[in-house]
Structure 1
């Protein structure tokens, strides 16, 4: 593995005025949790990619802007909803069942992934029940 694995990643996006994308405190908490759970470049809050002998705090965990290439391109895509909230590049929808926010996989998406399986199972059961009752004995 190269000493700086993040140098070959695409550059960070900026707003049209040149400023970095900002994140709110609730988004920062979710991002920090995601970094702690999923990021292979963060150990005990220290960034291994920036480590040159001295420990260096992970810049993404202490910043309210998207400032780390590794976070942007390797970690943030793991939580599509958080990515869409920060970048607003994808439309967010509210789940018709639970009211939670989710990123739909198509323009017809109506339910979040958790509720989709439950609703589909319920609809299939009702459909089968109707089909069986319509059969003449």
Structure 2
């Protein structure tokens, strides 16, 4: 008897009206890339968790709704911005430099993690330059 990886996962989240959360075409494209790239229960487009001897296409790769528990709880958290776009629309911010969407770690965040390091480094350099130029010899 096979172990079912879905057994220990929590149930899927639904909207207040009982329907599943849906993705836009761009979000679905990112989700499909995430499924192919990360450790999903998917091998050559076939779902291993649903395999009972016959090959079964991965339902998450062909659906615009979030319908796979393994994808929802094991794969989707690896891309926090995509997860927030699908489930928590209000918790997203746009980066002031690149305009990309990111999940802020505080309410003061202005930059995505990639741009934050560059902006902080530039600000620190400017501050040090200013400090050194004001020193009287």
Q: How many residues align?
A: 136
Q: Which runs of 5+ in 1 are unaligned?
A: none
Cα deviation digits, residues 21-71 of structure 1 (max 9, x gap): 111111110000000000331111111111111111101001110000000
Cα deviation digits, residues 73-113 of structure 1 (max 9, x gap): 00000111110110126511111111111111111110011
TM-score, length-normalised on structure 2? Answer: 0.95
Which residue of structure 1 aligns with residue 83 of structure 2?
Answer: 83
Which residue of structure 1 aligns with residue 57 of structure 2?
Answer: 57
In 1, Cα distance between equivalents of 2:89 and 2:7: 25
Structure 1 stretches of 4+ with a deviation exceeding 3 A read none
In 2, Cα distance between equivalents of 1:90 and 1:40: 28
Which residue of structure 1 aligns with residue 40 of structure 2?
Answer: 40
RMSD: 1.2
- Judge conservation of contact 1:90–1:103 (CA < 8 Å) in 2: no
SS at match of 1:5: coil
In 1, Cα distance between equivalents of 2:112 and 2:19: 32
TM-score, length-normalised on structure 1? Answer: 0.95
Which residue of structure 2 aligns with residue 18 of structure 1?
Answer: 18
